[in-house]
Amino acid sequence: MSSRRSRAFIRATAFAGALVLAQAAFAGVLIMNNDEWTLSDYGFSKAPASTTTFAQNLASAMNTGGGPCNLLVYSSNFSLTGSSLNGALTGAGCSVAYSTGAFDLGTLSGYDGVLLAGLQYNYDASVLTSYVNGGHSVYVAGGTASILNEDSAWDSFSHSFGLDFGPSYNGIRGVIPISSGNPLFAGVTELYFNNGNTVSPYGNNPDAQILASLGNDGLIGMYRDSRRINPNAVPEPATLALFGIGLAALRLRRRKAH
């Protein structure tokens, strides 16, 4: 192989390898709450200790990359703009920004996670899907009555990650006991809800699960890429094959250098 062809082959292999690695990047986290009242100032007042802990656990779960935590509240809904939630998130070490403006991948990617509820402004399901697939996190609260067919609007995004909002209010009201072994609920014994949209699995996504429920009604669901839990999972055959090609190209280059 000529020197020129060798260099071209190595560049092509490097590009293909980068492409595969990008495609194989871990997705982020989606957390769906059936109701918006949980993180409102009123929700904090009804179950102060548990709600504060839940909000701080939420911040940790959404900060999938570790390091400094940077969250965006893309909402004007009372459930996400109160001082109690802000205090809990900043107390967990997060900076919190508020906006209902631009909703594109470039803007959202400046944040580890985005919190949404109520009016959707410039929300775009495909943008939010790409955002989560790129390793970022989303929290969505239902039950707001702020938009028509609220469940369908959010489901156009959440179905990609195996979760669904129910089409009607479930009538669940009050401080509800929480029993879950998931880290999202570590130290959480109760949370407040006030008539939300039940969260259910959609399809057969193994990385989606209902974490807290009351009877047959899912209260909080979560999608999390299982590779974040098991990062040593065996790579797919195509990835292994490309890795082998890359090693061969590297050996070829080293032989020519000697």
CATH code: domain of residue 153: 3.40.50
Do 248 and 121 lie in one domain? The reply is no
- For residue 128, give the DSSP letter: H
| 70 and 131 fall within a common domain | yes
The answer on 103 and 77 residing in a single domain is yes
Asked if residue 177 and residue 118 are part of one domain, the reply reads: yes
Do 85 and 184 lie in a common domain? Answer: yes
User: Are 16 and 130 part of one and the same domain?
Assistant: no
Across the chain, mean pLDDT equals 86
Residues 168 and 242 grouped into a single domain: no
Containing structural domain, residue 213? 27-229
Domain count, the chain: 2
Q: Are residues 243 and 205 in the same domain?
A: no
* pLDDT grade for 1, boundaries at 50, 70 and 90: low
pLDDT computed for residue 229 by the predictor: 57
Q: Do residues 174 and 243 both lie within one domain?
A: no
Rounded average pLDDT over 182-205? 97
Clarify whether residues 144 and 96 are in a common domain: yes
Q: What is the three-state SS of the chain?
A: CCHHHHHHHHHHHHHHHHHHHHHCCCCCEEEEECCCHHHCHHHHHHCHHHHHHHHHHHHHHHCCCCCCEEEEECCCCHHHHCHHHHHHHHHCCEEEEECCCCCCHHHHCCCCEEEEECCCCCCCHHHHHHHHHCCCEEEEECCCCCCCCHHHHHHHHHHHHCEEEEEEECCCEEEEECCCCCHHHCCCCEEEEECCEEEEECCCCCCEEEEEEECCEEEEEEEECHHHHCCCCCCCHHHHHHHHHHHHHHHHHHHHHC
Same domain, yes or no: 158 and 242: no
**Residue 217 or 16, more confident:** 217
The string of pLDDT tens digits covering residues 131-155 is 999 999 999 999 998 788 899 999 9
Q: Express as a percent the part of the chain with pLDDT over 90.
A: 73
| 75-120 confidence digits (pLDDT tens) | 999 999 999 999 999 999 999 999 999 999 999 999 999 999 999 9
253, 201: one domain: no
